[in-house]
């Protein structure tokens, strides 16, 4: 028994570290590969070159681009939440509304936003509002669907309990249905936050003077490939942090909505 214990602990440590080890190994292979085969930096820059490019750009400029992207993504995300949750509730309350709106939502969702983005910019101008709209179009569908799914997932017995108490519909919605929808809403939020970044970047590709998406496109068009890669990695890290923040928010605000960790 005493022999297996350290082995078990080692196994756990390895299991925890393996994604990081894999990531480091991947970077190492990339670096070595680039140097070994002398791949030119304008085709595939080595990680060390990308890192240098990252520090070549002033910190304040990074922050300027980050803020431009982040404010569009987050505002779009928040507006999306504010719009989609009431829509989901309204659709749950009224079958008529659900039948009327659902096809429209599907049409919006299946229209590639990338194709619509230039039109929106033409119609609304190349300022924040049009970029926020593009972000909203991308994020609100998964939120409506996940909220509606969660609301409908409420055990029928609880709806009967509510009805047997003759409680007002408002309380049925807020005290039973919405809390039941929380886990679903959060899985929708996790999808939506990454889509929000995509939406902001797509909008910047079409027309912008700042932002990480703009920075990547600008760098690419001037063949500053290492710089473009640096922007890309920065964007990926930001997106990952936002995704994690949604998870942390769920842990902090609604710990009961997560599966209990095995004792």
Residues that bind another protein (CB under 8 A): 155, 157-158, 160-167, 171-172, 175-176, 179, 182, 254, 256-257, 260
In the complex, least distance from residue 201 CB atom to another protein, rounded to whole angstroms: 36
Which of 100, 169 has the CB closer to another protein?
Answer: 169
**Can you give the three-state secondary structure of the chain, one letter per residue?**
CCCHHHHHHHHHHHHHHHHHHHHHHHHHHHHHHHHHCCCCCCCCCCHHHHHHHHHHCCHHHHHHHHHHHHHHHHHHHHHHHHHHHHHHHHHHHCHHHHHHHHHHHHHHHHCCHHHHHHHHHHHHCCCHHHHHHHHHHHHHHHHHHHHHHHHHCCCHHHHHHHHHCCCCHHHHHHHHHHHHHHHHHHHHHHHHHHHHHHHHHHHHHHCCCCCHHHHHHHHHHCCCHHHHHHHHHHHHHHHHHHHHHHHHHHHHHCHHHCCCCCC
Contacts with 260 (C-beta within 8 Å, 6 or more apart), sequence order? none
Q: What is the token pair recorded at 11?
A: 């196994």
Give the nearest distance from C-beta 86 to another protein in angstroms: 21
Least distance to another protein, CB of residue 172, Å: 8
Phi, psi of 37 (to 5 degrees): -100, 10
Q: Find the shortest distance in angstroms from Cβ 131 to another protein.
A: 37
Place of tokens 């912008």: 208
C-beta closer to another protein: residue 176 or 192: 176
Q: Which is nearer to another protein, 2 or 164 (CB)?
A: 164
Q: By C-beta, is 20 or 256 nearer to another protein?
A: 256
Task: Please identify, using beta-carbon distances, which residue of 172 and 204 lies nearer to another protein.
Answer: 172
Write down the least CB distance from residue 253 to another protein, Å. 11
Name which of 21 and 167 has its Cβ closer to another protein: 167
Taking CA atoms, 30 is separated from 41, 46, 238, 243, in Å, by 12, 7, 22, 26
Distance of closest approach, residue 230 Cβ to another protein, in angstroms: 44
CB of 179 to another protein, least distance (A): 5
CB nearer another protein, residue 111 or residue 251: 251
């Amino acid at each position: 028994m005493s022999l297996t214990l350290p082995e078990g602990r080692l196994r756990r440590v390895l299991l925890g570290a393996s994604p990081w080890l894999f990531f480091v190994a991947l970077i190492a292979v990339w670096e070595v590969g680039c140097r070994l085969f002398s791949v030119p930096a304008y085709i595939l820059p080595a990680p060390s070159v990308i890192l240098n490019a990252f520090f070549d750009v002033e910190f304040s400029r990074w922050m300027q681009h980050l803020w431009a992207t982040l404010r569009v993504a987050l505002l779009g995300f928040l507006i999306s939440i504010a719009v989609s949750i009431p829509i989901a509730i309204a659709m749950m309350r009224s079958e008529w509304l659900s039948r009327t709106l659902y096809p429209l939502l599907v049409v919006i969702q299946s229209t590639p936003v990338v194709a619509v983005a230039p039109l929106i910019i033409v119609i609304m101008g190349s300022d924040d509002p049009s970029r926020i709209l593009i972000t909203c179009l991308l994020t609100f569908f998964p939120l409506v669907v996940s909220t509606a799914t969660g609301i409908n997932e409420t055990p029928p017995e609880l709806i009967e309990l509510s009805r047997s108490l003759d409680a007002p519909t408002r309380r049925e919605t807020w005290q039973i249905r919405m809390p039941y929808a929380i886990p679903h809403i959060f899985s929708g939020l996790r999808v939506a936050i990454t889509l929000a970044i995509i939406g902001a970047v797509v909008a910047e590709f079409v027309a912008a003077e700042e932002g990480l998406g703009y920075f990547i496109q600008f760098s690419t068009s001037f063949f500053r490939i290492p710089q473009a890669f640096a922007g890309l990695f920065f964007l990926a890290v930001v997106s990952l942090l936002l995704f994690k923040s949604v998870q942390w928010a769920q842990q902090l605000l609604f710990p009961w909505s997560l599966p209990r960790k095995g004792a």
